[in-house]
């Protein structure tokens, strides 16, 4: 999968995981006409991977699909949940 620079993100295929740095992935879900987007990040570290801000129930099926493009879900050891989405 290609890595995108910040100026090229408008070219990114947002329905897939996007590598933004070495083994750091955006796996969120861009919703049409939503000013509050779901920005979920995966730090890929084999079976010690970290998921940052897993998002909300309505978008998680998209996030899960993107995670599994990179690693099996059971390779995530840590979940960082800074807040509960409404």
- Domain-by-domain residue ranges, the chain? 6-80
- pLDDT for position 56: 79
- DSSP-derived letter for residue 3 is B
Tokens (6 digits) for 73: 């879900």
Under 8 Å between Cβ of 41 and 52: yes
Residues of the chain with pLDDT under 50: none
- pLDDT for position 84: 59
Residue length of the chain: 86
- pLDDT for position 46: 96
**Element of type H or E holding 69:** helix 60-70
**Residue carrying structure tokens 């049409």:** 32
- pLDDT for position 2: 63
- pLDDT for position 44: 98
- pLDDT for position 1: 62
Q: Check: pTM over 0.75? Answer yes or no.
A: yes
């Amino acid at each position: 999968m290609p890595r995108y620079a910040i100026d090229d993100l408008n070219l990114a295929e947002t329905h897939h995981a996007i590598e933004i740095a070495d083994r750091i992935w955006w796996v969120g879900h861009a919703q049409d006409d939503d000013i509050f987007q779901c920005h979920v990040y995966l730090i890929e570290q084999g079976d010690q991977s970290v998921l940052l801000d897993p998002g909300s129930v309505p978008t998680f099926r998209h996030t899960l699909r993107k995670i599994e493009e990179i690693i099996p879900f059971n390779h995530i050891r840590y979940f960082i949940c800074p807040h509960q989405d409404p």
